[in-house]
Chain A
Amino acid sequence: MAGKFVRLLGATVATMVLMPACYSSDYNNVAPNLPGVVITVVDQGRALASARSFALPDTVVEVPVGSNTISHESDQQIIANVRAHMVGLGWQDVGTNPVAIPDVVLLVAANTRIQTGVFYVDWFGAWGYLPYWGPAVNGGWIWGVPADAVPYAFQAGTILITMLDRRAEDATRQSIPLLWAAGIDGVVTNTASTTERALTGIDQAFAQSPYLRRGGVQLP
Chain B
Amino acid sequence: MNIKQCALGSALAASIVSAPLGAQDVDPPFINIGSYAIAFPLGDTHDFVPNTSWFGANWEGQWKYKPKTSVGVSLGLQDFFNQTRGTTTFSTGAVTGQQSRELLLGTLMGIGRYYPGPSLGRGFYAGLGAGGQFAQQYYQLGVTNPLSRSAIHLAIAPEVGVVTPIMEGLDAVFIARFTATTSNGNYLGGGSRNFKFITLGVGMAER
Contacts and interface: CB of A to CB of B under 8 A. Distances in A.
Contact of B92 (A25, A28, A34, A149): A149
Interface string A170-202: 000000000000000100000000000000000
Contacts of B203: 12
B92 A16 contact: no
Interface string A28-49: 1110001111111111100000
Nearest to B29: A1
Main secondary structure of the interface of B (DSSP, over half): strand
A174 to B, nearest CB: 23
Interface string B91-110: 11111111000000000000
A219 interface: no
Given A152-B141, A152-B145, A40 B34 contact: no
Interface string A6-41: 001101110110011011111111100011111111
Given A4-B32, A30-B86, A36 B81 contact: no
A1 B83 contact: no
Contacts of B92: 41-43, 146-149
Interface residues of A, number: 44
Given A1-B32, A5-B32, A34 B96 contact: yes
A209 interface: yes
A11 B34 contact: yes
B2 interface: no
B34 A8 contact: yes
A75 B89 CA distance: 28
A42 B90 CA distance: 10
B54 A9 contact: no
A109 B24 CA distance: 81
Contacts, number: 122
B134 interface: no
A25 B94 contact: no
B21 interface: no
Given A38-B96, A149-B93, A13 B57 contact: yes
Contacts of A12: 34-36, 57-59, 203
A11 B58 CA distance: 11
A153 interface: yes
B57 A26 contact: no
Given A9-B34, A19-B55, A37-B141, A26 B94 contact: no
B144 interface: yes
B142 interface: yes
Contacts of B190: 148
A204 to B, nearest CB: 5
Interface of B: 30, 32-36, 51, 54-59, 61, 77, 81, 83-87, 89, 91-98, 141-145, 147, 190, 203-204, 206
Interface of A: 1, 4-5, 8-9, 11-13, 15-16, 19-20, 22-30, 34-44, 146-150, 152-153, 155, 185, 204, 208-209
23 contacts: A4-B32, A4-B206, A5-B32, A8-B32, A8-B34, A11-B204, A12-B36, A12-B59, A19-B56, A29-B86, A30-B87, A30-B96, A36-B143, A40-B93, A42-B92, A146-B93, A147-B92, A152-B142, A152-B144, A152-B145, A185-B142, A208-B89, A208-B96
Report, nearest first, the 3 A-B pairs whose CB atoms are least far apart. Answer: A29-B86, A37-B97, A8-B34
